[in-house]
Chains A and B, each alone.
Chain A
């Protein structure tokens, strides 16, 4: 693999700081060096917070020296996707319309990581407003895959995935609306989690599809991802959709596999749509699970084939409304207007200049499906299908603890290969239903396949019922250790 030497676990990093084996400053310095060394090649970071990170590190070192308990992430460097607001630096969402935008507040998820001792080292590039599956639709240039810089890292959280896979940092945050954490995790060979809807506060996550969006962690291992989520999860009075559900200790029983362990494998998940090598690799993992004592259950999820269509009605509908605030009036890009131009010109020109083509496409799609005369045929119907998909998955979970399949039908593809939007949209075929149903999902590295003479990683995808993250991590831990 083309990445740097394996990174120590987050527990080890934090522990080394606690014991005084090394300082946070030294860790952060070396992390920043790795970021700088590879960023021209990967373009994973849009902005690196050198000064802020080093200042936070020395504060933490002082506190450690005093014997303070600085939290479970003591001195762990973390990268944050550019659609999650931070008081430090800027938040641009991969878009020209927010170029240079400074948020007066920090997202709850980031605040909680920082309160647990994590150090934010910078903002990572992503598809504009998280709309894309390749991190090519970014106003600040495409992100490249550390396994092969000619290929995409997946998206939309490609910068965060590449940063962890490329050894630039041990942990990162992304956002997942239809697969935007899990698919790049799979394509970059790292762990990526989409928490249940309502598990992590969305306060500070720039909204794309509000009923689908969740912030999720990237890490090198299941244990690290579980540790990060444990810190971020839980109710937040600033987000009314954030659930008041207790957060179990995800690490306490991580090494104890559920017993019995029932894994559902939808027959739709290993079919023609996949790269055959991907199907073969996942099938091998299923066999290993069976040998390890798991019960493999063949399940049928016929409605999941409508997941993409449903997703591409609901997500753009919400996005068309969520992105209306970018109007050039209060902040962000405002087009120059001259005499004779009216308010409409100001709106139209600011948004025409500020948004990229994929964002415009989705705003138009969303506006269309919410329009009088089309609302019932598209939006209302999509909501009905959403309910049916939820029911179908609930039915499946009556028989199994997790649903397993590939995260992505294909490994990382070359930049520019999927210029056709519909081909691109198919990247989310296995991941979008997780968001549609509000359940949780995780992508775990399953090994590599050879494509065009390159070893490329493949992700194994687990989906579990809403708020069953604890079980999901334990099963993911089993999968992580399969040969």
Chain B
């Protein structure tokens, strides 16, 4: 069936399910190390396995409270209500990556619910995205068909390293209406989780997986509204894939509706996967065939009771979140929004920056302009340049926040020139010594000594007679060549202002 009326407008309706692997030290229900913790990212297959992970007979789960604390941090950051009482349920199904034959999850009493995240848009408007719930569950293992080293194996291989990693599932309301907002939301959520320290957020490792539920509201010229069947796209682990899947689905669903006129209804939901190379979604399961998971309360575990004191302790451990930091950098320090985004990309860089700003303000209280701006300029110029060259993060170059403050103090007092400042930054990446000591040793302090300056100026005038004549004749532009000559001879150490003064004295 195709509709007789023409399409007047279409509007996307998107809800997200996000799985976050929490970086607890040990797994969710046993002491064995967690593969989502940085110390164990590259553990060899099936080395993070114990009787609980392998579901051996007689093994029992015991809750890792840290997983609860991390989940509550995320819940609070998303303005959720934290349940004082929640419990564990078993989701029963058979699959080789699920050792117990059930997954421990939270069915009807999630740990966090009813929150929201309000995103600023580039155009100054905001987008509020409702958070339905956040519940905690355990991750499954992985199935593969390759031996270590990439050799094909004729059969299935199970790696249980990931089995039992705490997995926080965040479910949003279907409040999103385009791919850009959805990606901004996804990025902001990743950023929040990274700042909370609950995950490294490395997308390629699957630390965060996004599953958008997408459909399109079609308005026809005759005033009718049609909602296309909801599609859940599974396991997207890049922002590009999130955007690609949404844009693709908009077109596909509208085209499908033109073709068959099918609208959303019971059982109409389907599941699709994303083919990254072809840039298309691929049907995985036709109907969400109400798979019967036979949820029931897990009798091996006691309910989770979160009292006020515990919740307050957790709340107190939450650092300033990236969105707030960015706003502060722009309004208080005068940073450009783009620079604010760069500095809040990695929580460690951001903490480095904040520490350096505090140190700078302390070292140079009468700084011309905000310390935040001076530090940002230094890190995003001298720092970013070296970070690019050495393929390291700015905060990992070796220079410390105190050294940054010392360097800025020297520059502010005009004791080092801009070229020398950049060079000094480089030296400070190699040593823990104070900036002044390094500048002295490396001869980077500006020279204002009259005798030395006179000698360089004399030599410059002799070397550039034409420029000297021009300058004497009143051509200001000629000064540049003479100052440059002095700088060359002084290896950048001459105080440019003093040189200019001497030229005027001498030639005018």
Residues of A within 8 A of B (CB): 84-85, 91, 93, 98, 101, 103-105, 107, 202-207, 209-211, 237-241, 317-318, 320-321, 323-325, 327, 329-331, 343, 347, 367, 370-372, 375, 379
Contacts and interface: CB of A to CB of B under 8 A. Distances in A.
Given A93-B57, A372-B290, 9 more contacts: A85-B57, A103-B58, A105-B59, A238-B62, A330-B158, A331-B56, A347-B94, A367-B294, A375-B294
B60 to A, nearest CB: 5
Contact of B58 (A205, A211, A317): A205
A325 B51 contact: no
Contacts of B59: 105, 203
Contact of B55 (A93, A330, A367): A330
A366 B100 CA distance: 16
15 contacts: A84-B58, A103-B56, A105-B56, A105-B59, A207-B300, A210-B299, A237-B62, A239-B60, A240-B61, A240-B62, A240-B302, A321-B296, A327-B101, A329-B99, A329-B158
Contacts of B92: 320-321, 324, 370
A101 B55 CA distance: 14
B299 A241 contact: yes
A372 B96 contact: no
Contacts of A379: 296
A324 B90 CA distance: 12
A241 B303 CA distance: 10
Contacts of B301: 240-241
Contacts of A84: 58
Contacts of A210: 299-300
B53 to A, nearest CB: 10
B61 to A, nearest CB: 7
A325 B294 contact: no
A204 B51 CA distance: 10
Q: 3 closest A-B pairs (Cβ-Cβ)?
A: A324-B101, A211-B299, A210-B299
A241 B302 contact: yes
Nearest to A198: B302
Contacts of A203: 58-60
A469 B57 CA distance: 28
A104 B56 CA distance: 9
A45 B200 CA distance: 53
A238 B302 CA distance: 13
Contacts of B302: 240-241
A317 B54 contact: no
B237 to A, nearest CB: 25
A211 B300 CA distance: 7
B57 A103 contact: yes
B102 interface: yes
Contact of A101 (B57, B94, B296, B300): B57
B182 to A, nearest CB: 32
B498 interface: no
Interface string B286-302: 00001010101001111
A107 B56 contact: no
B63 interface: yes
A402 B139 CA distance: 46
Contacts of B300: 207, 210, 240-241
Contacts of A206: 57-58
A50 to B, nearest CB: 24
Contacts of A240: 60-63, 300-302
A85 B92 CA distance: 24
Given A93-B57, A98-B57, A240-B63, A317 B296 contact: yes
Nearest to A106: B58
Nearest to A380: B296
A84 B301 CA distance: 20
A84 B59 CA distance: 11
A330 to B, nearest CB: 6
Given A211-B299, A327-B94, A372-B292, A321 B60 contact: no
A329 B101 CA distance: 11
A153 to B, nearest CB: 24
Which of A98, A206, A240, A324 is most buried by chain B, counting CB atoms within 10 A of its CB? A324
B445 to A, nearest CB: 63
Given A324-B101, A325-B100, A372-B290, A104 B57 contact: no
Contacts of A202: 60
Interface in B283-337: 290, 292, 294, 296, 299-302
Contacts of A325: 55, 57, 99-101
Contacts of B90: 321
Contacts of B101: 321, 323-325, 327
Contacts of A375: 294, 296
Interface in B36-83: 51, 54-63
Given A211-B299, A240-B63, A241-B300, A321 B294 contact: yes
A93 B54 CA distance: 18
Contacts of B58: 84-85, 91, 103, 105, 107, 203-207
A317 B89 CA distance: 13
Which of B60, B94, B100: most chain A Cβ within 10 A? B60
Contact of A318 (B55, B99, B290, B299): B299
B54 A330 contact: yes
Contacts of B296: 317, 321, 370, 375, 379
Which of B57, B61, B92, B158 has the most chain A CB atoms closer than 10 A to its own CB?
A: B57
A447 to B, nearest CB: 37
B508 to A, nearest CB: 87
Interface string B149-171: 00000000010000000000000
A104 B299 contact: no
A203 to B, nearest CB: 5
A397 to B, nearest CB: 24
A327 B94 CA distance: 8
Nearest to A129: B57
B158 A238 contact: no
A379 B51 CA distance: 29
A122 to B, nearest CB: 18
Nearest to B62: A240
B57 A343 contact: no
A91 B57 contact: yes
B96 A321 contact: no
